[in-house]
Structure 1
Amino acid sequence: MKGADAEDRAEAHLGTLGRVIVARNYRIPGGEIDLVSREADGTLVFTEVRQRRGARFGSAAESVTARKLTLMQRAALAYLTRELGRDDLPCRLEVLTIDGSAAAGVLAVHPVE
């Protein structure tokens, strides 16, 4: 799988932040969440992982479009309602980027406003 190495690194990084991964590659028609994690306080975090080996076509962060964020929100809402039975739980969206190789590139976490 093309993004599996980047997702593995992202998962390891989120673990160092004290998060527990509760789902990976959660899919619905028209949307996907790469990683769903839970913080110590119970907050769910829906993470899109983006990696770019080079900057020829822009950075990893620049590859996230408004449409992708909309689809991500839709998938997060579906996860809350279908998997947990409610949509009022504390949660947030973020994008984790890796610029460079999956193993050694620069990693950054960007909250989605």
Structure 2
Amino acid sequence: MKSTTDGKELEKAKSHIIVEIIHYVPNAVLSKTILKKTTGNVTVSSFDAGEELEEKHSPFDTYVQIIDGSAELIIDDSPFTLKLGEGIIIPAHTRHKFNANEQFKMISTTIKSGYENEN
């Protein structure tokens, strides 16, 4: 598996079609940065069929939405199948991983601030 991340932000004040800013590459997972700030980031990713991301832990909540295809997401051993247009919040401090049973694209938003006000 090849995994590539583009750290450059998208051009500001210029419209785009989110599903078209990243393409599928055989045997690869690609990610493109939309916004990257110290308080959080927004990324769009494409997964070729058969690819997966290793299990991760994040200290922050992450919202993901499928923008093409469908994805299998496992959060703390609970499987979810997300279809086009569906989204889910991956809670902070949980184990999670993605499996591409088919090609899919997703947009993810991670928020790194505001936790100090939670009970």
What TM-score do you get using the length of structure 1 for normalisation? Answer: 0.27
> Normalising by structure 2, what TM-score?
0.26
Relative to its length, the structure with more helix (as a share) is: 1
Task: Decide which structure has greater strand share.
Answer: 2
